[in-house]
Amino acid sequence: MATRTDAPTRREQILKEAARLFAERGFHGVGVDEIGAAVGISGPGLYRHFAGKDAMLAELLVGISGQLLTGAKRRLAEVDGTPAEEVLDSLIEGHIDFALDDRPLITLHDRELDRLRDSDRKLVRQLQRQYVELWVSVLREVYPGLAEPAARSAVHSVFGLLNSTPHLGRAGSLPGRGTTAELLHRMARGAFAAAATE
């Protein structure tokens, strides 16, 4: 997620380019030489940082699931004691940042999750479940009459909405980051409100 201001490490550069290339051409459509060329090192030089493409994919998908969960926990701590509506807005803003700034990772998750080793895939799912449960808890504070199963369905639906950003067109064709973020935020809140009136 794009909150850092310091320069990325070589390892982070490799992961960013690997995510972009895997999202564009598929995991099996990209070789280590191409990833290396994208960051200015030889393909074999990548093995000083990663055991191979499988390790890169695992770090990308496990990593982003962990970052989303950590970011959500941090946001909850920062807004502790504020009204639940503001907490929900903060969670939505955090996920929108991810959805707009890490679009290749969304594509990668959709296409390549099944390529992970069982243990890595289980870890991704575990982190994602914890992330969902944070949202469900906050959502039920905002809408106390919303049953837990309905709240969970609403959260998954909103994630689907927010994670649709790879299908919005190329980054330069969007109306602007701020405008897109505001639209996504309104749509997310509208979806939650609609779920609560069912």
The per-residue pLDDT for 79 is 87
CATH H-level, domain 7-50: superfamily: Homeodomain-like (1.10.10.60)
Q: What is the pLDDT of residues 66-79, one digit of tens each?
A: 999 999 999 999 98
Average pLDDT over residues 43-72: 93
Report d(CA 145, CA 142) in Å as an integer: 9
User: Looking at the predicted structure, is the pLDDT value of residue 1 above 60?
Assistant: no
The per-residue pLDDT for 42 is 84
Percentage of residues in the chain having pLDDT higher than 70: 93
Report d(CA 37, CA 17) in Å as an integer: 10
Q: 176 falls in which pLDDT band (50, 70, 90)?
A: confident
What's the first-to-final CA gap in the chain, in angstroms?
34
Q: Which CATH number fits domain 53-196: 1.10.357.10, 3.40.710.10, 3.40.1160.10, 1.10.287.70?
A: 1.10.357.10
Are 174 and 180 contacting, i.e. CB atoms less than 8 angstroms apart? Answer: yes
Q: 171 falls in which pLDDT band (50, 70, 90)?
A: low
The per-residue pLDDT for 2 is 46
The structural domains of the chain, with segments of one domain joined by +, span 7-50, 53-196
Instruction: Give me the DSSP letters along 134-154.
Output: HHHHHHHHHSTTS-HHHHHHH
Q: What is the pLDDT of residues 110-141, one digit of tens each?
A: 999 999 999 999 999 999 999 999 999 999 99
Sort 102 into a burial class: Cβ within 10 Å, 0-12 / 13-18 / 19+.
buried
SS3 assignment, position 19: helix
Instruction: Give me the DSSP letters along 44-74.
Output: GGGGGT-SSHHHHHHHHHHHHHHHHHHHHHH
